[in-house]
Amino acid sequence: MAPERIDLPQGTLDLLILRTLALGPQHGWAVSERVQQMSSDVLRIQQGSLYPALHRLERKGWIKARWGASENNRRAKYYELTKSGQHQLEAEKDAWQKLTSAVAQVLGTV
């Protein structure tokens, strides 16, 4: 069986989606697959949170959507990172690294 899976808090989910889309435009299914792959199956995104997150990010203007043909030639909605999305990704990455290192430090000292 796959390793134990972790449910993601919302802020982290946004970060992962932005990071995934930094590799290139993708549709929603591929985003969830990619996250799963890259995390060696540890992280799995529920559809119930993926799509609201995508719509929310689109509204914030960090990603933008356009319709394109998928690998199997079906119409699919592709999301790609915008300029402000890239800035947001950098900022969130920094914040995340600071957070994890701080948390690690706290855990290490105890």
- Which spans of this chain sit near another protein (rule: CB under 8 A)? 27-29, 32, 46-48, 51-53, 55-56, 58-61, 64, 70, 72, 74-77
Cβ at position 34, least distance to another protein in Å: 13
CB nearer to another protein: pick between 40 and 59? 59
DSSP code per residue over the chain: -PPPPBPPPHHHHHHHHHHHHHTS-EEHHHHHHHHHHHTTTSB---HHHHHHHHHHHHHHTSEEEEEEE-TTS-EEEEEEE-HHHHHHHHHHHHHHHHHHHHHHHHHHH-
CB nearer to another protein: pick between 24 and 52? 52
CB nearer to another protein: pick between 37 and 101? 37
